[in-house]
Amino acid sequence: MSDQTSKGIKNEIVGTAKEAEGRVRDGVADLTDDTSEQLKGKAEKLAGEAQKHLGRAQQEIGRKQDEHAQADGNAAKREHRSD
């Protein structure tokens, strides 16, 4: 697993948690009619969504890096065998 994939997993998890926290904050603010907290909750939710998507993109990049590394390794093995 590449470093990029690991970072992506972490960002997706943290982003999901932030998104959930923002939803809760927004929901509580709805109950108390606290507009300021509603805005903070919505902002936190959006920040979490963005971080979650960043994590998914990082994981995809990591998968592609792993695929290329594996393909390069396989090509080197084939080349070595033909020598």
DSSP 50-67: HHHHHHHHHHHHHHHHHH
Q: Write out the residue range of the structural domain in which residue 39 sits.
A: 3-82
Tokens (6 digits) for 50: 């963005």
pLDDT at position 74 is 78
* Alpha carbon distance 19, 53 (integer Å): 11
- Indicate the DSSP class of residue 33: T
Please tell me the number of Cα atoms within 13 Å of 43 on its side-chain side: 6
pTM of the model: 0.78
> What parts of the chain have a pLDDT lower than 50?
none
How many domains, in total, are found in the chain?
Answer: 1
Give the integer Cα–Cα distance in Å for 4 and 17.
Answer: 20
> Quick one: tokens of 51?
């971080």
